[in-house]
């Protein structure tokens, strides 16, 4: 069986995750690699349905653990239906946010506990952990500034109110790097798009060379 490469990209809003995944995918495809870009729930019907339940404004009674379980359930389905077949066919899979987002946001910043959230996610993903995870590190203020400047989206009251929350998310990611030093590779995402892309690409190439 051919075996692909599973890479996830993490970091706060506006860090450049989607931009860089797009550039890496384009460059790698030009070099002849088969690449899948995805993000949860990734158009998978069951995952989309689960997401509707999570985001439904009427579900005000939703308990944080229920929410974490639903995210894990959607993750499982996306993994089984989309990521796994791509890996089995030998593709390079880039997933825009994955398990570490749950660990940093729900586990750490929301206070559910990194270990608790990890245990349900371990059940959900079994052995299918990414081989490499990029953590795009950036001051949350700069990330929001980029979103405002480039996407034309106003930084809303909620974004500002939760700047402290986003600082906690960053702390969470830094704790995860200590816990998974081999898997998570930190990139200084405050630099130019070209610099970030160059470093990310070099790291992916290094991984491909070990295959």
Ligand X SMILES: Nc1ncnc2c1ncn2[C@@H]1O[C@H](COP(=O)(O)OP(=O)(O)OP(=O)(O)O)[C@@H](O)[C@H]1O
Binding site, annotated residues for ATP: 11-18
Least Cβ distance, residue 161 to Mg ion (angstroms): 21
Check if the beta carbon of residue 137 is closer than 8 Å to that of residue 173.
yes
* Per-residue b or e along 13-30, where b marks 16 or more CB atoms closer than 10 Å to that residue's CB: ebbbbebbbebbbeebee
Q: Which has the closest alpha carbon to 145: 14, 10, 20?
A: 14
**Between 13 and 199, CB nearer to Mg ion:** 13
- Write the binding mask 9 to 48 for Mg ion: x where contact by CB under 5 A, - elsewhere: --------xx------------------------------
Q: Is 150 in the site for ligand X (CB under 6 A)?
A: yes
The order of strands in the sheet holding 5-10 is: 35-38, 92-96, 5-10, 132-137, 184-188
Partner from ligand X, Mg ion, none contacting 14, C-beta within 5 to 8 A by type: ligand X
What is the C-alpha to C-alpha distance for residues 47 and 55, in angstroms, rounded to an integer?
Answer: 12
Give the binding range for ligand X (CB under 6 A) out of 12-20, 114-122, 160-168, 180-188.
12-20
**Between 16 and 41, CB nearer to ligand X:** 16
Least Cβ distance, residue 40 to ligand X (angstroms): 12
User: For 9, phi and psi rounded to 5 degrees?
Assistant: -125, 125
Residues making contact with ligand X (CB under 6 A): 11, 13-19, 146-147, 150-151, 192-193, 196
């Amino acid at each position: 069986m051919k075996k692909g490469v599973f890479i996830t990209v993490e970091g706060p809003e506006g860090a450049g995750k989607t931009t860089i995944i797009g550039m890496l995918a384009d460059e790698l495809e030009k070099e002849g690699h088969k690449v899948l870009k995805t993000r949860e729930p990734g158009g998978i019907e069951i995952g989309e349905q689960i997401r509707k339940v999570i985001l439904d404004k009427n579900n005000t009674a939703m308990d944080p653990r229920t929410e974490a379980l639903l995210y894990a359930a959607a993750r499982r389905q996306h993994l089984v239906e989309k990521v796994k077949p791509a890996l089995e066919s030998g593709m390079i899979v880039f997933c825009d946010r994955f398990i570490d987002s749950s660990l940093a946001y729900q586990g750490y910043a929301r206070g559910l506990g990194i270990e608790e959230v990890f245990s349900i996610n371990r059940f959900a993903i079994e052995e299918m952990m990414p081989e490499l995870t990029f953590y795009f590190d950036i001051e949350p203020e700069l990330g929001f500034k980029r979103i405002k400047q480039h996407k034309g989206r106003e930084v809303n009251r909620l974004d500002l109110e939760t700047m402290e929350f986003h600082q906690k998310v960053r702390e969470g990611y830094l704790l995860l790097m200590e816990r998974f030093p081999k898997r998570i590779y930190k990139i200084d995402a405050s630099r130019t798009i070209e610099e970030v892309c160059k470093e990310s690409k070099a790291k992916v190439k290094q991984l491909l060379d070990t295959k």
